[in-house]
Amino acid sequence: MISTKKSLATFVTVWIVSSVLVIAIITLIASLYISNEHKRNNKQMSEQLQYLVEVQSLSNSLNKLVSDFRGYLAFGRQEFLDATMKEKLSFDNELGEYSRKQTPDDYKDLLLRDNMYTQENMYSVEAIERLWAQYSQLIEQAIVLKQKDEQDEANQLSKEETTPVINEIFRQFNMITERQNDNVDQIMNENRLFNRLLYYLLFGFSAGLALLGFFLVMFMKRSLIAPINKLEQHVQLISQGDYIVIPSSGRLDEIGQLEIGINEMSRLLKLRLEAIEMSRVEVTEQRDELEAQNEEIMAQQEEQESTLLIIRQREYLIRQIIESIYEGLLLCDHNGHIILANDRISSMLELDIREGIQVDELLIHIDQGSDSSNLMFLINDIRANLPSLQVSNHIQFNYKSKNGENLYFDLYMKTITKLQDNHNGYLFVFRDRTEEEKVNEMKNEFVSVVSHELRTPLSSILGFVEILLQREVAPDKQKKYLETVFKEAKRLSNLIVDFLDIQRMEAGKQQYHLSPLSLIELMQELADRYNSSSTHRIHLEWMDDPNQFIVSGDYDRLFQAFDNLLSNAVKYSPGNNRIDVIMNSDGNLIRVHIKDYGLGIPESSRNKLFTKFYRVDNSDRRKIGGTGLGLVIVKEIIGEHNGDINYESVLSEGSIFTVTLNRVVNGSDAK
Amino acid sequence: MGTYQVLLADDEVALRFLISETLEDEGYQLTEVEAGDEALEQLKLHTYDLIILDYMMPGLTGIEVCDWIRREGGSNATKPVLLLTAKTSMKDKERAAEVGITEYIMKPFSPTLLVQIVNKYLPKID
């Protein structure tokens, strides 16, 4: 509502402008008037001064005239006369002009010259004119007289007539001058008055302005500054957060508008603030929510990470297992593509087996290195029946390695249903059983050796008995045959016994019943048996106290061991029938030395002497026979007694076998 | 016409005794050695009509001796070689066949059977 709204600015402006205008106008008018008057005065003054000058000039001219006239009169020179005439003429003109100026032309001028001096001057001028006329005449008379040379008359005329006239003229001139001077003075006074008025006017104007300014300030203070200060305070409060409402002063001007505006602003600010606060609260809530969600997510992530870690560790573990096992592992998909292969399978088969290779092609490769036929069957089966092949079986094949070694493998195959995306997968496990085969071979070898060892004496036995049964044989031959049969049968029997002993010992089923026994007694019994029946003489001797030779042992087994040693000693010294058995004790140990003076043992046999079926490779010895198991048994038995067996030998001189056993002290084991 | 010469290589005393008794009774002349290398020595020196080898012998085995006979045996190269053995596996028999063993005789064997086999290769001339 612009029309009803009063504007302070307008108000103030109007007031200021009008005040200033009023003052200005007043001042203007006043100064115009004063200036006018001033001008008039000045004009008047200059006029008067002009008149003064003219009067002075007239006076001077007259003076000069008079002087020249008097000079002529006195001296009668022509130039005085000329000058006088000239000056008389010019003065005449001058006066005429001056008079004319003094006479007002019209009423306007009359009004203007409406002062007393002017009027009086007019009378003077008139007087002067009359007087001049007189004087002129007189001068002319004088001059005529002078020309006539009537000097005295001239002089008299001059003195009596002209001089008083001149004096009177001069007097009039003086009066005019005085009056002019007075005029001028008057005018000057008027001027001064006007000047003073002007000063007063200026002063008044300034004062008026100052007053106006003062009122303005007061007004402003009241109307503008005070309310603005108040507003400012309020704004200050608002800015500090106190959204107060300014009491309205009811004014309709700018201040009023400002109040309204500030109130509105304050109200809006308050609203905004509240809105912000609300949204802040909302935001905080949302943020809390988000934080909570975030925490959840992080927790999930952590879980996932730890799960992932577990999975990775698992994968690593599984991978380690796959790579560490002794078997070669192959996994292929339903199309026969290999999807997993451990390093072992590549090294095992000396091929570069990687993911992506076709499994049947790999098998063909393997087949090329093998002379087993079952690989081909497998390959054909795979080619025919993949991807729906159901298999869980096991084949064996051999395989030639690059360095010519014969290797043996087990191959286990299994279908894994739903390995990937509902398709089958196939697991191939290759096991290197070369070692087992070798062991088998060794066992077979062993069996065949045993079988050979068993069959050989059996051959002789059966053979001779067959001959004896089939035909007539001379009695001496008969005897020989039967002796051979007996010997071989015995040998066979020993072999079987020894062999079974070894088997039992090796199976760990041989039981040893240990108890304290006297080695001397044992050796004595053995020696007696040999001495009574065999071809050799056993010479037994011991050093030290017989009680030193107590050992903890199994009597029968130790008997068997020493029996074997003695039997060997006897067998392998065909040329000498003396066997020495020497026993001595050495701290906690007992040593039994069995010394023969026979064939001796070559050093090359040392490694194999105590192995199964080993007999020294020499035709002399082969003749002697034996099972080759005796020393094995001895070693086994002595070993079970925590003892030790060793030998020294010199070829063709004999051997000493030394058994070391632990002594028993006072009935307890001093091991 | 003399008697047939037979070379016998076996490290077992009893067996040698058995075989020599059996074959000498049939009229064959036997030379006995105890080891494969000895057999080789004999084969290098003499020509025999029949050779009987034990499989398991010290030094060279019967198989190895036969192998030598067939390759470098000279006059003995084509003579019948009998192998006495307790080895029963197919592989051993195949191996024997490979080296040219004429007959593979399993222990224990019947002396009568041995005589029959020997007679087969050394027919009696009446």
| The pLDDT of residue A2 is above 50 | no
Q: What pLDDT score was predicted for residue A112?
A: 56
Which of A466, A484, A625 is closest, CB to CB, to B17? A484
Only one residue has tokens 């093998």, namely A370
Q: In whole angstroms, how far apart are CA A462 and each of A77, A289, B105, B116, B119? A: 228, 103, 15, 17, 21
Report chain B residues whose CB lies below 8 A from the CB of A487. 14
**pLDDT value, residue A644:** 94
Chain B CB contacts of A457 under 8 Å are 12, 14
The H-assigned helical ranges of chain B are: 13-25, 36-45, 62-72, 90-99, 111-121
CB distance B35–A458 less than 8 Å? no
Q: Select from B15, B59, B88 the Cβ nearest to the Cβ of A456.
A: B15
- Residue holding tokens 């063909």? A364
pLDDT given at position A438: 80
The more confidently predicted of residues A409 and A45 is A409
- B61 in A contact zone (CB under 8 Å): no
Q: Which residues contact A365 (CB under 8 A, 6 or more apart)?
A: A351
Pick the residue from chain A with its C-alpha nearest to B110.
A463
CB contact under 8 A, A619 and B34: yes
Query: HSE-up of A109 (CA within 13 Å, CB side)?
Result: 10
Confidence category of residue A1, pLDDT binned at 50, 70, 90 = very low
* pTM recorded for the entire structure: 0.47
Residue numbers of A between 444 and 473 with CB closer than 8 Å to B: 444, 448-449, 451-452, 454-464, 466-467, 470
Confidence (pLDDT) at A111:
55
Distance from CA of B11 to the nearest CA of A (A): 6
A492 Cβ under 8 Å from any chain B Cβ: no
Length of chain A: 671
pLDDT reading at A498 higher than 80 = yes
Q: Which residue of B has its CA nearest to A620?
A: B34
Question: What is the predicted ipTM?
Answer: 0.90
**Least CB–CB distance from A456: residue in B12, B17, B22:** B12
Quickly state the pLDDT bin for A3 (edges 50, 70, 90). Answer: very low
Contacts for B105 with CB less than 8 Å, ≥ 6 apart = B82, B83, B84, B85, B113, B114, B117
* pLDDT for the residue A540: 92
B56 touches chain A (CB under 8 A): yes
pLDDT reported for residue A662: 92
pLDDT band, residue A581 (cuts 50/70/90): very high
Q: Residue B14 and residue A462: Cβ atoms within 8 Å?
A: no
Q: For residue range B90-112, list pLDDT tens digits in order.
A: 888 899 999 999 999 988 889 99
- Give tens-digit pLDDT for A507-530: 888 888 999 999 999 999 999 999
Q: Which pLDDT band, with edges at 50, 70 and 90, does B125 fall under?
A: low
Residue B22 C-alpha, separation from nearest chain A C-alpha, in angstroms: 8
Tell me the pLDDT tens digit for each residue of A177-214.
888 788 778 878 887 887 888 788 888 888 888 888 88
Task: With CB atoms and an 8 Å threshold, state whether A459 touches B88.
Answer: no
CA distance B86 to chain A (A): 5
Percent of chain A scoring above 90 in pLDDT: 21
Q: Which residue of B has its CA nearest to A487?
A: B14
Reported confidence tier of residue A622, pLDDT bands at 50, 70, 90: low
Distance (Å) from the alpha carbon of B49 to chain A's nearest alpha carbon:
23
Of A455, A464, A487, the CB nearest to B107: A455
Residue A174: its H or E element: helix A163-220
Q: Which residue has the tokens 């009008």?
A: A18
Reported confidence tier of residue A669, pLDDT bands at 50, 70, 90: very low
Whether the per-residue pLDDT at A103 is higher than 80: the answer is: no
Q: Which of A39-53, A362-376, A517-531 has the lowest mean pLDDT?
A: A39-53
Q: Once rounded to an integer, what is the mean pLDDT over residues A13-32?
A: 83
Which of A458, A619, A621, A627 to mutate to test binding with chain B, by most B CBs within 10 Å of its CB? Answer: A619
Nearest to B112 among A466, A623, A625 (CB): A466
Q: Which residues of A touch B9 (CB under 8 A)?
A: none
For residue range A312-339, list pLDDT tens digits in order.
888 899 999 999 999 999 998 888 899 9
Work out the pLDDT band at A5, boundaries 50, 70, 90. low
* Section B11-23 average pLDDT: 90
Listed in sequence order, the residues at least 6 apart from A513 whose beta carbon sits closer than 8 Å to its beta carbon are: A554
Contacts of B35 in chain A (CB under 8 A): 619, 622
Task: Tell me how far apart the terminal alpha carbons of chain A are, to the nearest angstrom.
Answer: 130
pLDDT band at residue A646, thresholds of 50, 70 and 90? very high
pLDDT over 80 (residue A354): yes
pLDDT at A545 over 90: no
Reply yes or no on whether the pLDDT at A80 is more than 90: no
> Residue A670 pLDDT > 70, yes or no?
no
pLDDT of residue A110: 56
Asked whether the predicted pLDDT for residue A253 surpasses 70, the reply is yes
**B12: contact with A, CB 8 A cutoff:** yes
B12 contacts in chain A (CB < 8 Å): 456-457, 460
B52 — phi, psi (to 5°)?
-115, 125
pLDDT digits (tens, 9 = 90+) for A149-172: 877 887 887 788 778 888 888 888
The percentage of chain A sitting over the pLDDT mark of 70, rounded to a whole number, equals: 94
pLDDT in tens, A427-481: 999 999 988 888 787 777 777 777 777 888 888 899 999 999 988 889 999 999 9
Q: What is the mean pLDDT of residues A21-30?
A: 84
Q: What pLDDT digit, counting tens, does each position of B25-81 carry?
A: 888 999 999 888 889 999 999 999 999 999 888 778 889 899 999 998 888 888 999
Place A635 in a pLDDT band, splitting at 50, 70 and 90. Answer: very high
Q: Would you call B109 an interface residue with chain A, using a CB distance cutoff of 8 Å?
A: yes
Confidence of residue A240 (pLDDT cuts 50, 70, 90): confident
Cα A173 to Cα A59: distance, rounded to the nearest angstrom: 7
Mean pLDDT of chain A: 84
What's the pLDDT at B126?
A: 54
Model confidence band, residue A377 (pLDDT cutoffs 50, 70, 90): confident
User: Closest by alpha carbon to B36, among B79, B81, B2?
Assistant: B81
- B21, B34, B55 member nearest A622 (Cβ): B34
DSSP labels, A596-636: E-SS---GGGTTTTTSTT---S-HHHHHH---S-HHHHHHH
* A174-181: long-range contacts, CB 8 A cutoff, minimum separation 24: A175/A120, A175/A124, A176/A51, A176/A55, A176/A121, A176/A124, A176/A125, A176/A128, A177/A52, A177/A55, A177/A56, A177/A59, A179/A117, A179/A120, A179/A121, A179/A124, A180/A48, A180/A49, A180/A51, A180/A52, A180/A55, A180/A117, A180/A121, A181/A52
What's the average model confidence in pLDDT over A479-499? 89
pLDDT of residue A620: 56
Q: What is the pLDDT of residue A452?
A: 74
| Interchain contact B125–A (C-beta under 8 A) | no
